[in-house]
Structure 1
Amino acid sequence: MRLLLLAALVASGAGAKPPIPVPPGDALLDRCAAIESVAGALKISGQYLLSDTVDDCGNLLGPQEYRTSETPWRWASVTKQIVAVAVLQQVERGKLALDTPIAAYVPELKVANADRITLRMLLQHTSGLPNVEDGPADPRKETLVQYRYDAPAPPPGISPICLGKAKAEPGVRFDYNNCDTEVVGAVLEAVTGMPLAKLLDAEILAKAGMTATVLVVPGEKLSGRVGYFPDGRDDAFIDVGRFGAAGAVRGPPRDLAKFDRALMTGQLLKPDSRAEMQRGNPKLGYAALGVWSYTVPLKGCTTPQKLVERRGEIGGVQVRNIIAPERNLALIVFTDRPFDFGEPWQGKGGTYDLLSAALCPA
């Protein structure tokens, strides 16, 4: 198992709480060593970075092939977190409202119950829309046929599957669904008059200094990390661009740390908007808007820690982007093979152990 792990302390900005002091010198290295020790116990190896400049420590640890945080990876459903920020930006400007039916913004969008489904429902996956995962899988059941380079190109816009019959009444139940975010992307394009790629670049990527990150275009093949299945075959046949608003962002881990930093320090959203985005609903498994937000005890910490989590998976690549907003810390994990991360709220598992090492050093 190979793993890239990046843990970045985030400097405080206007409207943010004063940051926890950055451990100096040997203390910083001790914390990195603790994370490395946990990764070793989990039988994974990788790169570990912990600093206040999103730039240190990681180059000292891990195998040579992972010693740069500049190599691009697919971010999979972390894309949904970025799209959620774009929605809240438009809410701040009065162009969107979270609880207004989407038919008010895109009357020509023929999705089921458009006159009742809201952006909040879409971002919390309670829309009741059909799910692209109900579409046909490829012969090995490793991805959907529609996501393969060698499959016929889908028509422009959201997946035809998303235009099908509703699976549930709006707002009734949680059902994780790529169609939800595809529809959100269509709403954003309609109200801003900009293609989603240009909107994200102008309003988020450029503002956060994420110069090496893009929303991949369908059919585009880029260099960088691919994933691997348990039998060792790579997943280079997956066309990441076809995931669109639901998963097509691609860039280096350092850029993801820049995104977290910009979000936490008020560069992308005002404090009230960020709080709205990160308010987890316990009735929905603590789903918030494009993320999950919950508080859990961690080994070594005297008090429970608030976490804002976004995860993703495409093919053999998995990603975890976890912000501890009260600690000004972000833990970012990329794997290029399947790995059982577990659940932090269960008090065990890979994510729990790594977070304990990052947030609760001895």
Structure 2
Amino acid sequence: MIAPAIDNIIKQQTKNDHFAGVVMIANGDETLHAAAYGEVLPGSGVLHQLGSVWRWASVTKMLAGFITLQEVERGRLNLDQPVAQLLPAAPSHVGGVTLRQLMNHTSGLANPDQTALNTETGVHHWASAAEPDFKYCYGPALAAPGERFDYNACDFVVLADVLKAVTGSNFAELIDHRISKTYQLPSIRVVTNASDDAEVAGTRDGKPIQDGLRLANLSADAAIIGKPADLLKLTQLYMAGSIITDTNLRQEFGRGTPELGYIALTVWGYHAQLNGCSTPVHIIERRGHLPGTKVLTLQAPELGRSMVLFSNRDETDWGWIWQQTGFSFNIASEVFCR
């Protein structure tokens, strides 16, 4: 199904080839819009397809959040318990961090994005190394727990270790059992093999990106791949209470902290004044970005509507809804207000 008004907004973004990919929108069980736009590689004549498998990048964190909250709901985890209770062998500076601080990036842990770039590939060594170096995340801290917000892959590497300690399953197994099989979303999986990757390659300046990045090195930070349709279904299942049944816990998941830039628990949550809505709309937002691939998910829980957008153009600019301008603001206004 293609909604004309939404289609017009998206096509405005494709004119300069700064967007190409897939946009899907749902209201409850109904798909309002599902369409692919543009060529996979500029000038190739090969068009994007709805059923292609993409990198989900940092949307992976949201799924790690779902599984963590399931453990909280079952009473096996508490958001404010320190890591030391679950990983007794962890260094003291790691052990003092709480699960909440891991999920909202206030842990103060070592940050691999501060390591040197691989000059040949243009990505950090930790992301392109032949083997994952997850021990790095247990190295010297950058700040005291809770001191400041620092967007950090190590938060989710450690969170994956916590989940394994509690459940006995690694992150890939948890996604397979708790998400893919439970909700019949077969395309969703965690990449664990160094040579594995998604179907859709990223592009920059009209050319495919050859960066040497290995998704297997990214764990619960950014290693999931899957189809856009399965991500759309997942957001709708979450809002319907199928993944987390406790209403208060779902509210906490999407309740942003203003002093931390409205970060919530693996997502951003805020109330936005959109064009066409008489009152602000509560939005849960999650973005993902790996070289040449950009992902955006927007959920409006009170409306039961969500959307997922995938682009394999590094030039894609979603804009910022709070600034009331740009691609994301325009499409959110159309979907959530009209």
Q: TM-score, with normalisation over the residues of structure 2?
A: 0.89
1:149-193 deviations in Å (ceiling 9; x for gaps): xx33235xxx23212211111111111111011100000001111
State how far apart, in whole Å, the 1-side matches of 2:253 and 2:26 are. 26
Residue 77 (structure 1) aligns with: 58
Match of 2:320 in 1: 343
CA RMSD of aligned residues (A): 2.3
Which one of the candidate residues 99, 110, 113 is aligned to 1:130? Answer: 110
Q: How does 1:200-349 map to 2 (within 5 A)?
A: 200-222=175-197, 224-230=199-205, 232-235=207-210, 237-270=212-245, 271-338=247-314, 339-349=316-326
Q: TM-score, normalised by structure 1?
A: 0.84
Instruction: Supply the distance in 2 between the matched residues of 1:223 and 1:183 (Cα, whole angstroms).
Output: 24
| 2:166 aligned partner | 191
CA-CA distance at 1:134 after TM superposition: 1.3
CA distance in 1, matches of 2:317, 2:23: 19
CA gap of 1:170–1:95, structure 2 versus 1, over 3 A, is: same
Question: Is the alpha carbon distance of 1:50 and 1:331 closer, same or farther for their aligned partners in structure 2, counting shifts above 3 Å?
Answer: closer
- Equivalent of residue 102 in structure 1, options 55, 68, 83: 83
Question: Does the 8 A contact of 1:32 with 1:50 survive in 2?
Answer: no
Aligned partners of 1:301, 1:127: CA distance in 2, in Å? 37
Counterpart contact for 2:25–2:32, Cα < 8 Å = yes
**Equivalent residues of 1:81, 1:290 under 8 A apart:** yes
Q: Is 2:37 aligned against 1:62?
A: yes
Give the Cα separation in 2 of the matches to 1:37 and 1:55. Answer: 19
Aligned to 2:138: 163
User: Quick one: percent identity of the two aligned structures?
Assistant: 32
Which residue of structure 2 lines up, in the alignment, with residue 91 of structure 1?
Answer: 72
How far off its partner does 1:223 sit? 5.0
* Aligned position for 2:332: 355
Task: Please identify runs of 4+ aligned residues in structure 1 that moved more than 6 A.
Answer: none
After TM superposition, give the deviation of residue 66 of structure 1 in Å: 5.1
Q: Which runs of 5+ in 1 are unaligned?
A: 1-24
Q: Quote the Cα distance in structure 1 between the aligned partners of 2:21 and 2:131.
A: 36
Instruction: Find the counterpart in structure 2 of residue 29 from structure 1.
Output: 3
**Is 337-346 or 122-131 further displaced after alignment?**
337-346
Offset at 1:352?
1.3
Once residues 113 and 335 of structure 1 are traced to their aligned partners in structure 2, the CA distance between those partners, rounded to angstroms, is 38
Aligned mates of 1:46, 1:80 — CA distance in 2: 22
Gaps spanning 5+ residues in structure 2: where? 40-45
Q: Is the 8 A contact 2:22 2:228 kept in 1?
A: no
Give 1:113's aligned residue: 93
- 1:329 offset after TM fit, Å? 1.1
Q: Report SS of the residue matched to 1:237.
A: coil
Determine if contact 2:21/2:310 at 8 Å carries over to the other structure.
no
